[in-house]
Structure 1
Amino acid sequence: MSRPVGGDAVMRDQLRHLVEAARLPNVTLQILPFEVGAHAAMDGTFTILDFPDGDPAVVFTENAAGGLFLEKDDELRKYREVFDTIKAAALDPEDSIEMIEMLVEEPLWKSRRRASGST
């Protein structure tokens, strides 16, 4: 939300879309504010895949070189702990929606441009 890609209108539309998605009954969206500082998930992105049919969960990690599926219990446990830690530090879902709605009106990419002296 702080690095504009596609221009102002595209960024605002994406933020509005996030608000719509966050209001769906099967979606939980939480923002981890910059003020939190360093956090447990800074190593890179990951997705925990749980399957309803009883298949074991896996973690998919991704970086610039590609992706990796992790299946060992200790790996899954570590990523669940990381997820729980960042979830606890994040804004709750309603506050996250409010923050996104605020960013539609006063986006970070505009305030950073002013702070850097660019127009």
Structure 2
Amino acid sequence: MSRQGFDDSASPAFDLSLSQRAAAPPPYMQGLNPPQIQAVEALDGPVLVLAGAGTGKTRALTTRLAHLIHTRRAWPSQILAVTFTNKAAREMKERVSRISGGAIEGMPWLGTFHSVAARMLRSHAELAGL
């Protein structure tokens, strides 16, 4: 029994040492393969993911976005993530929201190339001479 009156031995997390718990990957990274984990954990600079259809590119990228937010390497409003289609942008938003617990609300720069560029031009029309 712990000092707070809870039975720590009943929790599987207490079967792990502190260093093992610190080394355990966050739940949102479970099920990723080694190359995906490498892409997710590359937090300094951009990442280019080249792979065939159905290999988990979107999963790796959306998990990376959530990981950047979770590790406080970036605020949601500081992340630029663009894709080609509305369907892919919608899917990325849904996945990041599900993984990060709603952080998507603060991600204005997640969308299609067209929508993000239009937002930038509207925000900075005078600077662009428009």
TM-score range, shorter chain: under 0.3
* Structure with the larger RCO, 1 or 2 (CA within 8 Å, 6+ apart): 1
Instruction: Write 1 or 2 for the structure with the bigger share of helix.
Output: 2
Q: Which structure is larger by alpha-carbon Rg, 1 or 2? A: 2
Q: Structure 1 or 2: larger strand share?
A: 1
- With the length of structure 2 as denominator, give the TM-score of the two structures: 0.23
